């Protein structure tokens, strides 16, 4: 199968946006009102890797994605919540205007503290 016929998603060619920071591209990981199957980009294969498949997890009310070409302190691309009146298709790219930022601090788990 030729590469152009494969289903791989090459995130490397997508810029964070055309007018950063006024407008950012978001790749939808979770469609609004969907179950919580979460995807993340895999740099080695240029594919999406399934991060988790919960048994009967919560449903997300909004579309959730990430900004290509970015890297947060946790090593993952920046996360993005896309407000829309309807669910957006998973793996679609949508240009978005940021309206705010939520800074999240991750605390070490008890097990991680014990391993230090």
Is the pLDDT assigned to residue 40 strictly greater than 90? Answer: no
What DSSP designation does 8 have? -
pLDDT at 2: 34
List the CATH number of the domain containing 53.
3.90.80.10
State both tokens at 16.
Answer: 């964070």
Segment 13-35, tens digit of pLDDT: 889 999 999 999 999 888 887 76
Dist. CA 21–CA 96, nearest whole Å: 10
pLDDT at 4: 32
Is the pLDDT assigned to residue 95 strictly greater than 50? Answer: yes
- The mean pLDDT of 45-71, rounded to a whole number, is 79
Residue 67: give the domain boundaries.
Answer: 3-115
Alpha carbon distances (Å) from 83 to 9, 48, 57, 80, 88: 24, 22, 21, 10, 10
pLDDT at 3: 36
The count of structural domains within the chain is 1
pTM of the prediction?
0.69
* Three-state SS annotation for 39-81: EEEECCCCEEEEEECCCCCCCECCEEEECCCCCCCCCCCCEEE
């Amino acid at each position: 199968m030729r590469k152009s016929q494969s289903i791989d998603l090459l995130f490397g060619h997508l810029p964070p946006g055309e007018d950063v920071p006024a407008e950012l591209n978001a790749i939808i990981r979770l469609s609004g009102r969907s179950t919580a199957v979460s995807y993340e980009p895999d740099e080695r294969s240029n594919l999406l890797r399934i991060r988790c498949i919960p048994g009967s997890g919560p449903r997300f009310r909004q579309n959730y994605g990430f900004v290509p070409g970015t890297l947060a302190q946790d090593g993952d691309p920046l996360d993005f919540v896309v407000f829309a009146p309807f669910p957006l298709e998973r793996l679609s790219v949508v240009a978005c205007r940021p309206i705010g930022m939520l800074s999240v601090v991750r605390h070490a788990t008890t097990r991680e503290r014990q391993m230090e």
